[in-house]
């Protein structure tokens, strides 16, 4: 009798379990997708100046809300994963010419050159010199999308292919790209300056490329000649300070570290003969034992220590990271500099963002832009689920470059007017 009385209560118990399970799943989804995070305009750090005020007026994206796709766009991990696996959606295929440059050590640098598809907004000849992210090149979808958009806005684009990154281009010296080597980028820039003596330059770097372009500009004042501005997106500024965070599991950085290391291993091993073979003069410090260590490496730091630093003869990993980071060169950049990061970038620890913040608070030519969302080179836009082909990042870089071009033209016009007035007097 008592059993019969208890039976009707069982469905209620099961319903409670189901509700608890559904609630738990919803809680996990909300947390993982960061759905409760608000949308807001990016945080801007800058010195009050005539240039900054002009930029705020001329670049609506700096003061407008960045709205990522509703369902998944507030997750830095999903933004990063989509960038990594998919690049962009419906990516165009801009047509360019591949150029080959022989370096002093016998290496063959390559870059792709894309001509503008319309007249520039100021009617001038302006070239974007672009340095992609780690192990990337002009054929990556995010680069193709950005180049196509820049071409349509009147920019010529020159895109560096990192040494060893293109699968169909063999190495002609026992050396690959490294974290901060500027040789190939400098050779590309010099080619553009020589071939187009009237052109002015907009320097753009993505992730690792941001480190390279900033270091290049800061290495010499001559490197900043004919440069209108520089834009760096999602770089970490200091490899030495970043290495510790890359070994931590929060924000899954240790997992990302493993994935990037695995990709680097594949690239290095695809050039095994050029780098480790006996038929070429490899660096004296690079041995077959390093090749054995490469097979078992599970982090970028292990690869850098056993292989990458030895391409340039660095005695230690610390020396390599110190010398190849742009950290000590940023204060030597005098052209307008836009530093863009995302607050939810899982690869760039928040402690590293103190570097661009401090620089922007001291230098009038520097502005740091920090949206809440975007991940690492994601910055997708869209209403609910499906992202748009163009990202917030693509639009911001071109909008900023357009504003700087207008700023320089305005300054030039004012200078000409003043000279005319003084001549009449």
166: number of Cβ within 10 Å:
18
75, 138, 173, 207: which one is catalytic?
207
236: number of Cβ within 10 Å:
27
Which residues, at least 6 apart from 293, have a Cβ–Cβ distance to it below 8 Å? 302, 306
Residue entry with tokens 């599991």: 249
Determine whether 299 is an active site residue: no
User: By three-state DSSP, how is residue 249 classified?
Assistant: coil
Determine whether 287 is an active site residue: no
345, 360, 373, 394: which one is catalytic?
345
Determine whether 207 is an active site residue: yes
Tell me the DSSP string of 207-248. Answer: THHHHHHHHHHHH-GGGGTTEEEEEEES--S-HHHHHHHTT-
Distances (CA, A) of 366 to 47, 76, 299, 318: 8, 25, 33, 28
Task: Please check whether residue 338 is in contact with residue 51, taking contact to mean a CB–CB distance below 8 angstroms.
Answer: no
Q: Cα Rg for the chain, rounded, in angstroms?
A: 25
Query: For 71-110, where are the alpha helices, taking DSSP H only?
Result: 76-85
- The pairing of strands 97-102 and 108-114 is antiparallel
Task: Please check whether residue 388 is in contact with residue 380, taking contact to mean a CB–CB distance below 8 angstroms.
Answer: yes
138, 238, 376, 394: which one is catalytic?
376
**Which residues are known to be catalytic?**
207, 345, 376
């Amino acid at each position: 009798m008592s059993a019969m009385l208890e039976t009707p209560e069982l469905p209620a118990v099961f319903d409670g379990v189901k509700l608890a399970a559904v609630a738990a799943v919803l809680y996990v989804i909300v947390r993982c997708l960061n759905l409760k995070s608000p949308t807001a305009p990016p945080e801007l750090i800058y010195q009050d100046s005539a240039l900054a005020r002009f930029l705020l007026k001329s670049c609506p994206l700096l003061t407008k809300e960045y709205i990522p796709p509703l369902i998944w766009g507030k997750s830095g991990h999903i933004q990063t994963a989509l960038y990594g696996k998919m690049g962009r959606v419906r990516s165009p295929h801009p047509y360019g010419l591949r150029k080959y440059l022989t370096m002093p050590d016998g290496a063959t640098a390559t870059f792709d050159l894309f001509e503008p598809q319309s007249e520039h907004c100021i009617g001038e000849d302006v070239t974007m010199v672009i340095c992609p992210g780690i192990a990337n090149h002009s054929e990556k979808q995010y680069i193709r999308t950005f180049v196509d958009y820049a071409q349509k806005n009147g920019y010529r684009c020159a895109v560096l292919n990192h040494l060893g990154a293109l699968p169909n281009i063999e190495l002609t010296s026992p050396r690959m790209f490294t974290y901060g080597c500027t040789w190939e980028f400098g050779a590309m820039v010099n080619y553009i300056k020589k071939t187009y003596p009237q052109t002015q330059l907009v320097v753009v770097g993505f992730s690792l490329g941001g480190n390279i372009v900033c270091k290049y500009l800061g290495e010499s004042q001559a490197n900043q000649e004919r440069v209108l501005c520089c834009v760096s997106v999602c770089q970490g500024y200091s490899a030495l300070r970043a290495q510790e965070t890359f070994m931590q599991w929060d924000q899954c950085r240790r997992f990302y570290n493993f994935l990037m290391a695995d990709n680097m291993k594949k690239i290095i091993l695809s050039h095994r003969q050029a780098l480790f073979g006996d038929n070429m003069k490899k660096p004296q410090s690079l041995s077959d034992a390093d090749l054995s260590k490469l097979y078992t490496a599970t982090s970028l730091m292990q690869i850098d220590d056993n292989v990458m630093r030895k391409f340039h003869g660095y005695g230690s990993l610390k020396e390599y990271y110190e010398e190849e980071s742009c950290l000590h060169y940023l204060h030597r950049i005098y052209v307008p500099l836009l530093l863009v990061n995302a607050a939810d970038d899982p690869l760039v620890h928040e402690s590293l963002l103190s570097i661009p913040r401090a620089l922007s608070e001291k230098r009038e030519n520097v502005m740091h832009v920090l949206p809440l969302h975007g991940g690492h080179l994601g910055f997708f836009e869209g209403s609910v689920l499906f992202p748009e082909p163009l990202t917030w990042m693509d639009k911001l870089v071109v909008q900023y470059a357009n504003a700087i071009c207008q700023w320089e033209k305005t300054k030039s016009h004012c200078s000409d007017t003043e000279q005319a007035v003084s001549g009449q007097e």
